[in-house]
Amino acid sequence: MTNATEFARAQAVIPGGVNSPVRAYRSVGGTPRFLVSGHGAHVVDVEGREYVDLVGAWGPALLGHAHPTVVEAVQRAAARGLGFGAATPGESELAELLVERTTVGGTALLERVRLVSTGTEATMTAIRLARGATGRDLLVKFAGHYHGHSDGLLAESGSGVATLGLPGSAGVPAEIAGLTLVLPYNDLDAVREAFERYPDRIAAVITEAAGANAGILAPQPGFNAGLAELAHDHGALLILDEVLTGFRVGPAGCWGLQQAAGETYLPDLVAFGKVIGGGLPIAALGGRAAVMDLLAPLGPVYQAGTLSGNPVAVAAGLAQLRAATPDVYTGIEAASARLRDGLGAAFAAAGLPVTTPHVTSLFSLAFRDAAERGPIASYEDAKDQEGWRYGPFFAAMLEQGVSLPPSVYEAWFLSAAHGPEVVDRVLAALPAAVDAALAAVGP
């Protein structure tokens, strides 16, 4: 069995051979690795090759792969039954933990939480709730942000849509796409103008708490708070998408970091996913009780799910969140800082300056000289780079046993298992990969 034979086999029965587009390595070239196991900071492919993994399951693997505490919790829960489609105490426990962890300086981010299975469902439901609460139909989103693959959210989206260079998606009716206003990120004037242009029509502004799907696009200080103010002044809701950043950049996500830094604003609805499921499918939507209680069965906004709050997934999430102590975050941040410094130094030594924008440990690599072209603040900035250098860089790292995200627009995910020796292994692979990036030929 080889990666190539498995890819051929998969392509015969699965579109593109993958169940999520970026896994297909289209933007970096080469054969996707078919994985059979993962442990700590490492994954192993069907050929028995081990790689340092910097994909981190696209975010959930905060503690590393197959963390014994999480695996044990899953095994215990599975032995009690795989799912009942009925309420279970664990769901309240997870909801309580989310409320508790996201209360910062006495301010609670969440009053109610509903568990769903994917980030897509969480943001999709948030939008329906915002429309139900306001009786309005328009939605503001930002270029380069990704909020899952529901119809209204794919316009100028980040993640795979950006990687594949698509403007949006076929199959989305113009009437639905037309309800989404796509604005430049970090531009409060654009948001102000939209509210003036469409009075009483905008139901919500949705924003990634920090952009992380077109590389890392941090909000400028005051941007998220400014959004909250503008939305609320105009009778609209602010939906904060912490699917990727929640419990990843710190225990209370970007909102927690901002509160700690003195930005005291409250979004109306917040979406979580990834880390809160410990690797299994759990996501959540939470927020103010007055809005959340509009959900069925209390209110008129319908949302449901056969697998929502699945007990095995809940057990995984609880185990991971309980093990995610402040030390875990400090350790991951130290590993990230070393890696970013190493990347900067290796590329500088080759005379090819790069940028590594970051929010705490979460970072990405951009082939862009910040000294010459300025920092990355928008999707336009993120695209203004020599992204074609990433494919050869990625391939050279993979060849040396380091698995990076297969797109220049995706964040690199470290875990508690990425200790100093693991980071050493990544740093040792850099010189050859930097040479490959340097030798790359542009379009």
**Residues making contact with ligand PMP (CB under 6 A):** 58, 118-120, 123, 146-148, 159, 208, 213, 241, 243-244, 273, 283
Q: Is 141 a catalytic residue?
A: no
Q: Of 159 and 415, which has the nearer Cβ to ligand PMP? A: 159
Given 25, 146, 265, 409, the catalytic residue: 146
| Integer Cα distance of 333 and 331 in angstroms | 5
Given 45, 53, 241, 381, the catalytic residue: 241
Given 45, 141, 265, 274, the catalytic residue: 274
Q: Of 120 and 180, which has the nearer Cβ to ligand PMP? A: 120
Q: Is 241 a catalytic residue?
A: yes
Q: Of 58 and 198, which has the nearer Cβ to ligand PMP? A: 58
- Please identify the residue of the shown chain whose CB is closest to the bound ligand PMP: 119
| Integer Cα distance of 232 and 221 in angstroms | 19
Least spacing, CB of residue 231 vs ligand PMP, in Å: 18
| Integer Cα distance of 335 and 316 in angstroms | 25
In contact, 400 and 432? CB cutoff 8 Å: yes
Least spacing, CB of residue 126 vs ligand PMP, in Å: 10
Q: Of 142 and 195, which has the nearer Cβ to ligand PMP? A: 142
Q: Is 146 a catalytic residue?
A: yes
One-letter amino acid at 193 equals E
**Assign residue 402 a region: left if phi > 0, alpha if psi is -120 to 50, beta otherwise?**
beta
In contact, 247 and 280? CB cutoff 8 Å: no
Least spacing, CB of residue 209 vs ligand PMP, in Å: 8
* Three-state secondary structure of 94-141: HHHHHHHHCEECCEECCCEEEEECCHHHHHHHHHHHHHHHHCCCEEEE
Decide the pairing of beta strands 358-359 and 362-363: antiparallel
Least spacing, CB of residue 161 vs ligand PMP, in Å: 11
Least spacing, CB of residue 196 vs ligand PMP, in Å: 28
In contact, 287 and 111? CB cutoff 8 Å: yes
Q: Of 90 and 273, which has the nearer Cβ to ligand PMP? A: 273
- Please choose, from the candidates 322, 363, 325, 318, the residue with its C-alpha nearest in 3D space to the C-alpha of residue 344: 363
Supply the residues annotated as catalytic: 146, 241, 274
